[in-house]
Chains A and B, each alone.
Chain A
Amino acid sequence: MRHTAKICFLSLLPLFITTGCWNLKEPDQLAFVAGNGLDLTKNGKLEASTLLVIPAGIGGGQINGGEKKESYQVMNATGKNVSDALDNIQSKLSRVVFAGHRDIFLVGQSLAEHGMGNTIDTFMRSSQSDMRAMIYLVKNGQPKDVFSSAPFFEPFITTTLSEEQEAIGLKPYLAREFVADVWSDATQPLLPVVSLNPSTHYSYNGSAILNKDDGVKLVGFLDKEETSYARWLTNRLISFTLTAFVSKGNGNISLSLDNLGRRIKVLQVGETIQIDVHLTGGGTIIENSTKLDSSKRKDLLLIQKEISLQTEKSTQKLVKKVQEAYKMDIFGFGESVHQQYPLQWKTLKHNWTKTFPTVAVSVSVDIRINDSGLTHSSLNKP
């Protein structure tokens, strides 16, 4: 009895070593995807583009006389849906496409205008999809053009794009957070935007507002400054350079802000809802072209007050603009109402898209100058 058992187990042993063979894929049989782009062609077909890594092009060390190979290749194909388009890309390749290291999703403007709701399923369903990819919208251009633009620091543009947001002080916006926003009760997605310059290099260009309740359609754009304020309001801003005109000193002052914070208080007055936002930040003066001397307490307080007031005005203006022109709750105010008045929210949430534009929002800003830099008064010679 024991003997037969042992023989049985021994005969199983080779399986332990060989089962991987079905799935054996050497790296040289794979085509690694660094980024995927989706867009509509002029005649309304869904087009996928893929940035593929060419390992031979990256290889460091000596270059053996021959010309240097490109480190990437962009492939495009159209299809009935995302997978079909990607499959059509596969048919042009001799290596199996592997998306496990994908960093970037790009969405073309025309797809976003048409509504990208029915392309989102592919972001998470595939077993290869990792949860760390970032997402951008491409304004005035197509994903494939951004993919083809030559990067200068890294071998591929996708690495550059994935470091871009952190470099400009934004908390990176990941594809999974985008999906979470699309599925949230109230918050509307705010996608970072890149666009192509005439010199065919990309540049970060603010953000795009999408309407999750209408097929995730593009509603409008915010510029870079507005995006910073919007991100500050949603607590997704890490650092920020603020330039404001200080009328009493007759000049501009620039602050490098960090320690950014936000507090939202929801008040219910009768049937109407009022939202008080309090923004805080601390900063260092990096440029002073005014007559004020930041080493004097009176002047310093004056600068603080003026800059806070200016920021208050800009933020109020942004909120008003979003409420009136776009009517989309990109600030997550609905989420704050949800958290602070959970019982009332159960009835409010059905009508939130209609309520949001009418909600009274007041913004107060408290900016502190923690450091006035290495000099006292302005060095500018009048």
Chain B
Amino acid sequence: MTSQTRPETTSASPMDKNAIIDLAIRFGFLALLVGMVLFFSFASRGFASPQSAVFILQSVAITGILALGVTATLVVGGFDLSIGSVATTAMMAASYVMVVMEQSALVAVIVCLVIGAVVGVINGWLIVYMRVPDLLATLGMMFLLIGLQRIPTEGRSIATGMSLPDGTTAQGTFSEAFLALGRHRFDLIIPNFIPVSVVVLIVLAVLIWFFLEYTRFGRMMYAVGSNAQAARLAGAPVRAYKIWAYVISGVFASIGGILLAARLGRGDIASGNNLLLDSVAAALIGFAVLGAAKPNAFGTAMGALFVGILLQGLTMMNAPYYTQDFIKGFVLVIALVFTFALSQRGKQ
């Protein structure tokens, strides 16, 4: 018995010092977030307003949704680089379905969701059954989709009244219902206040958070990501869990694509360039939130918000646009140091 109690007493002595580091790891990032909000509120007139808050939320809505999807793949120990191209493919598909094929908004949405799910299944199949490493499989899928989305229109953007490859003019239009997804605002205290995309973001964030934290499937996904062999020996169908994670990621990305199409009102082949990097950054920054040191939905949402607030604040303080990527990258690197170096020390 004495030999077993020994580790207890040794680990108890450096507790006080560890407690401070522990606290820093847990709440450091949230403290930084609050501090940043306070700083911008004082430094920039108009930052601390409801309108500004909604603008920030709207600016991060689509990347946030994609980031929540990629979080699911990170949870099972994978990674999905194809999310950006899934989103733009969904955007092009929605436009094509409505403008060229003259279908309704509902059909367009369904087509997009199916595309997302199918891409997710293919990604999962490549990774699980064809044993292609996750980064490479989804990188390949990314290239494939970037090319694929341009084929139906021979590389042109899709807009109402565009001329088609055969010389005729497209007769379809973006339906009002579809455009409302990007333009309608719900009343909340102030009339016409909360955009649909923000509502979708919040609903999806709560859903995926609840799924990962409170359902047995979410729990098993974490087990798969931490030790797949142990999960398998505990009876989990590891392959199915992995494939489902990519399906979630694909579907979330396609929802992002639908909102993008609705916001732009056209299928713009040049848009969505930053989606992948921004959403991956948000998910990785999320590792640092509350000292989780692992992918988590709350952290991802906070990560997206963090980037949004930072960029909005800097813009309002007249920082030039071309510094944005640098700042995002800088924040990401700092967050990664937070996650890996500090939490590693906290564990020892």
Query: Real complex partners, A and B?
Result: no
